[in-house]
Amino acid sequence: MKKFCDIQSRNELADYLGIPRSKLTHILYVKKPDSYYTTFEIPKRNGDTRAICAPSGDLKVLQKKLSNILCLFQRNIWDENGIKPNISHGFEKEKSIITNAKIHRNKRYVLNLDLASFFDSFHFGRIQGYFEKNNHFKLPHDVAVILAQLTCYQGRLPQGAPSSPIITNLICQSLDAHLLKAAKKYKLDYTRYADDLTFSTNDRHFVENQKKFLAEAIVAITKAGFSINEKKTRLQFRDSRQEVTGLIVNKKLNVNHSYVRKTRAMAHQLYSTGEYLIDGVPGSIKQLEGRFSFIDQLDHYNNILDPQEIKHDAFNLNGREKQYQAFIFYKYLFANDTPVIVTEGKTDIRYIKAALKNLYNKYPRLIQKDAEGKFVYKFSFFRRTKRWKYFFGISLDGADAMRILYRYHIGSNKRIPPYLSYFQKLSGHEQHNPVILLYDNESKSERPLKKFLGEDVHATVDQKAELKAKLHMRLITSSKLFVVTPPLIGDKEECEIEDLFSDELLSLNLEGKTFCHKDKFDSNKYFGKEIFSQYVYENYRTIDFSRFIPLLDVIDMCLIFRQVSFQIPHILLGNNLYNILNPAIKRRTNLHEYLCGNMPVPPHLGDRCWANTCLFTQVLFLHVLIDEQLPEFFITHRHKYLLRTDIQKMPCRLAEHSVYCSHTAKAYSNT
């Protein structure tokens, strides 16, 4: 394959980048690269702002491709010459401010230098000259000019473009080589993170040689086309706080305590009010997650350095890790944007996805097609990750996840906090969206469901009977946490989700092998759940999913209990809602005949009785509460608690319609 350095023309460059030649011409000479950029500012740590110039559209795609190609080209050069780079840590794969800082940990002296106007130093001519004259490239003049045109904005390398980081690192290799030579002369370790240069040593005589080294370093920096920001030059001693790229390096790697305190305060504000401020601007939950993740990276690094006998797991977390644990629960299980389904294994996920794709017209609340015809699920499946394993003790497979998540809802012991009640108290509301624990229907043998109901839930006989009859059970009164099981098939006393498939499919023969649902089997004769689930997912169009309908109906019903976009006082609170709603719809099949007349409805809410209603109430209940929010509605006969003169109007918007809900506090005090 042709190397990047062998490109000789614009057309060859387009071919190498994998884009049509006409598109490259259009970007360069018709629309022109500068027209693709958007400029905005972001705050810096010192209170100043940083200008970001971000490309869009075809230019952004092209720059990403170029960046990947240059990174690969650089890696190949290192491999060919046996180079193990450990100087540049900015914008490098598997490198970060942590890898940069740890080299300078626990040193007697740490010297910090900063390059002034770093990105502005890379002007058009410099980019062109590098690709034209560098020994590893030596590209033709025309090609070098095109690369400069594609990567520069207003004659400079823009901060915010995908191609800028790799180009800066390539050009800075010469600078790094000269500074490394000077550093070795004075027994210094040297690293660079973009424009931050750091030198460190345990040589007690460095103070005497500091001026000499600085003079040599400034000469090397000047020759490379840069200048030093003298205001940021500082020598840090062991008995003071030593910082490298924002991290404290005296002994362990650490972050400034004020950063941790601010993050904790932001989280508490989010839990209490649903929003928080960062530098006076409303912050997103992703930004807060990034701050927690950054702090955790340092804890993880320091944990590795601890003696082997010290355990680090869900039951041995430090204070900062416990804060991160609470945030993870809040984001994914309490303030979850979509309903969450937790399964025993990944094969269950494929089955449900395949069934919904086959029956998508029947379940618009669960799945839809977008404008491009792609399926979009309106809920999410719980993803088992290393993070969940570390902070909650959840393995990457198996039914233990449901038991553990339930315990963190209720707080089963001193080591497991009751996060549900904690966040309910802080926020003043319930979970945003339901969380469903999907078990195989195996409550008789020593299987996961039986253990869960017996050892964790301590379910009564009536509760077990309810689960058997309805295929679902609300686990906690004040939550949207459900346990759901597939239906029993035929005369079977227990069923796995695989039993919902037809006998014909279960006897499927693939390359002379048949399906075995057991965990251990002879691979010469059988194939397991992994291969079977892949087959089901790939062939969902032709498979009979009729036995899945009762299960999907239950999931659909549970997911209706999602965050309500409007509030009706006292109606949506407590378990009475669920207890009343569940049997109501099953007793009525023809709703229309019960919805007529002109009686106000609010005083009829509470004890399963029906009342005649006017038109606006029909709209409210049929199109708002039933279709969008609640599976059933309930109306009482308490006429005396509401008079016409007491009616107050409250606007409730849904879809493109506005309706009015009549209510008074007096009316609801008795429901």
Return mean pLDDT, the chain. 83
Buried b (16+ CB within 10 A) or exposed e, 576-598: ebbebbbebbeeeeeeeeebeee
pLDDT value, residue 621: 52
pLDDT value, residue 300: 87
DSSP conformational letter for 628:
I
SS3 127: helix
Q: What is the mean pLDDT of residues 581-585?
A: 38
Contact 368/458 with Cβ under 8 angstroms? no
Cα(330)–Cα(333) distance, rounded to whole angstroms?
6
Dump pLDDT digits (tens) for 133-188: 999 999 999 999 999 999 999 999 999 999 999 999 999 999 999 999 999 999 99
Dump pLDDT digits (tens) for 195-247: 999 999 999 999 999 999 999 999 999 999 999 999 999 999 999 999 999 89
pLDDT value, residue 603: 42
Confidence of residue 267 (pLDDT cuts 50, 70, 90): very high
Percent of the chain clearing pLDDT 70 (strictly above): 82
- The dihedral formed by the CA atoms of 398, 403, 409 and 414, expressed in degrees to the nearest 10: -120
Phi then psi for residue 60, to 5 deg, are -65, -45
Sign of the C-alpha dihedral computed for residues 64, 66, 67 and 73 taken in this order: positive
Q: What is the mean pLDDT of residues 406-427?
A: 92
Q: With CA atoms as reference, report the closest residue to 267 among 248, 289, 247.
A: 289
pTM higher than 0.85, yes or no? no
Kind and range of the H or E run holding 167: helix 164-171
Dump pLDDT digits (tens) for 178-188: 999 999 999 99
Dump pLDDT digits (tens) for 510-533: 989 999 988 888 889 999 999 999
Kind and range of the H or E run holding 11: helix 10-17
Say which range, 33-42, 432-441, 536-545, 655-664, has the weakest mean pLDDT. 655-664
Cα(628)–Cα(265) distance, rounded to whole angstroms?
36
> CA 586, 591, 592: angle at the middle one, nearest 5?
165
pLDDT value, residue 309: 63
Cα(522)–Cα(519) distance, rounded to whole angstroms?
10
| Helix, strand, coil in percent for the chain, rounding step 5 | 45, 15, 40
